[in-house]
C-alpha cells in the first residue's frame, strides 16, 4: 500500500469524503445486521445449568439478576490453565470498563469459564477487573454452546466450532491448521502464556452468547465465535483507525501486566 505524503488539505478532504461515504454505507449495513440478529428465532433452554459465583451456586436464570436479557462472554480459561487466555483478557480489559452500562440498560453481563471459581477470582484480582465472572466447572454449558471440546472429539474430528467441522487431529495431538509444532507459531506462544500446551489450550474456545428471559423461561437468541468477536475487541477498533492499522507480524499483545517483561 502506498500513501501520498505531500497532499494538500484539499486533496486530503476530497479523499476523506469519498471514504466517508463508504463508512456510512458500512454503518447502515451494520445497523441492518443488528436488526437481523434481534430477529433470529429463539430456542428455549430447559437444561438446568449451574454456575459457581461470588454469590454461591446459581442457575442460568439467576444470572439475569432481574433483567430480561443476558450476554455471556465465553472466556477461554480451562481448569488446567494457570492464566486466562491473553486474547480473551485483552477483550475483557475493554468490557470491564462498560459492563455497568449494560447492567443499567436491562442487560445482564457475565463472563463464563470452565476453570474453578477460586482460580478465576485469583486471576481477576491480578488483572484488577470488576466484571462478574462465573465458573461452569463440572457443567455441560461450554460444550453445549460449542466453546469446549474433549480430546476425544479432537481426535475423531467431532469438533464443530464457528459453525464448521474441523478436521481430526493427528498424533501427537495437534490442531493442524495452527502449526503448533513450531515453537514460534502464534498459537504456541499464546498457549504458553496460559501455562498450557496447544492441545489443552485449544480445547477451550472464545465466543459470545445472548439469552432472553420470556415469561420465566430462558431462550437462546444468538452466538458468535472466532472473528465474529472482532467488533468486541476494543483495541482493534482503535488500531483500525491508526495510521498503520493493525500492523501485525505475529503475536504482540500480552496480559496487560506483562508488557516489558520476559
- The per-residue pLDDT for 177 is 43
Candidates 115, 106, 97; CA nearest to 204 is 115
Task: Give the tens place of pLDDT for each residue, 168-196.
Answer: 876 444 444 434 445 568 899 999 999 99
Mean pLDDT of 237-246: 95
Based on DSSP, count helices (H) and strands (E) in the chain, helices before strands. Answer: 8, 10
Cell numbers of 91, please? Answer: 477483550
> Residue 257: exposed, middle, or buried by beta-carbon count in 10 A (0-12, 13-18, 19+)?
exposed
- The per-residue pLDDT for 46 is 97
Candidates 140, 128, 101, 133; CA nearest to 255 is 128
Rounded Cα distance, 221 and 209, in Å: 8
Mean pLDDT of 98-115: 98
Mean pLDDT of 251-261: 93
Rounded Cα distance, 230 and 211, in Å: 20
**For the chain, what percentages of helix, strand and coil (3-state, to nearest 5) are there?**
40, 20, 40
Q: Is the pLDDT of residue 219 over 70?
A: yes
Determine the straight-line distance between the first and last CA of the chain, rounded to whole angstroms: 33
Candidates 191, 224, 221, 218; CA nearest to 84 is 191
- The per-residue pLDDT for 185 is 81
- The per-residue pLDDT for 183 is 52
Confidence of residue 4 (pLDDT cuts 50, 70, 90): confident
Task: Give the tens place of pLDDT for each residue, 16-70.
Answer: 999 999 999 999 999 999 999 999 999 999 999 999 999 999 999 999 999 999 9
Instruction: Kindly give, in sequence order, each residue whose CB lies less than 8 Å from that of residue 66, ignoring residues fewer than 6 positions away.
Output: none
Mean pLDDT of 232-252: 94
Candidates 251, 156, 153, 168; CA nearest to 203 is 153
Average model confidence (pLDDT) across the chain: 93
Mean pLDDT of 232-247: 95
Q: Is the pLDDT of residue 78 over 50?
A: yes
Rounded Cα distance, 72 and 232, in Å: 12
Confidence of residue 1 (pLDDT cuts 50, 70, 90): low
Amino acid at each position: 500500500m502506498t500513501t501520498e505524503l505531500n497532499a494538500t488539505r484539499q486533496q486530503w478532504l476530497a479523499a476523506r469524503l469519498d471514504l466517508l461515504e463508504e463508512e456510512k454505507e458500512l454503518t447502515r449495513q451494520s445497523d441492518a445486521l443488528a436488526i437481523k440478529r434481534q430477529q433470529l428465532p429463539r430456542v428455549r433452554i430447559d437444561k438446568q445449568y449451574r454456575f459457581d459465583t461470588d454469590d454461591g451456586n446459581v442457575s442460568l436464570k439467576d444470572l439475569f439478576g432481574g433483567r430480561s436479557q443476558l450476554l455471556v462472554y465465553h472466556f477461554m480459561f480451562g481448569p488446567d490453565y494457570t492464566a486466562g487466555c491473553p486474547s480473551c483478557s485483552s477483550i475483557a480489559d475493554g468490557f470491564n470498563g462498560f459492563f455497568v452500562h449494560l447492567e443499567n440498560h436491562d442487560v445482564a453481563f457475565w463472563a463464563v469459564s470452565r476453570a474453578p471459581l477460586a482460580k478465576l477470582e485469583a486471576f481477576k484480582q491480578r488483572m484488577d477487573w470488576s466484571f462478574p465472572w462465573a465458573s461452569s466447572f463440572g457443567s455441560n454449558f461450554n460444550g453445549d454452546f460449542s466453546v469446549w471440546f474433549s480430546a476425544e472429539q479432537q481426535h475423531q474430528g467431532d469438533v464443530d466450532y464457528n459453525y464448521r467441522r474441523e478436521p481430526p487431529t493427528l498424533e501427537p495431538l495437534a490442531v493442524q491448521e495452527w502449526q503448533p509444532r513450531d515453537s514460534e507459531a502464534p498459537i504456541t506462544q499464546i498457549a504458553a502464556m496460559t501455562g498450557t500446551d496447544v492441545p489443552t489450550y485449544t480445547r477451550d474456545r472464545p465466543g459470545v452468547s445472548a439469552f432472553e428471559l420470556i415469561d420465566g423461561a430462558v431462550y437462546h437468541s444468538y452466538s458468535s465465535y472466532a472473528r465474529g468477536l472482532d467488533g468486541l475487541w476494543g483495541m482493534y477498533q482503535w488500531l483500525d483507525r491508526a495510521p498503520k492499522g493493525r500492523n501485525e507480524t505475529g503475536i504482540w499483545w500480552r496480559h496487560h501486566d506483562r508488557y516489558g517483561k520476559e
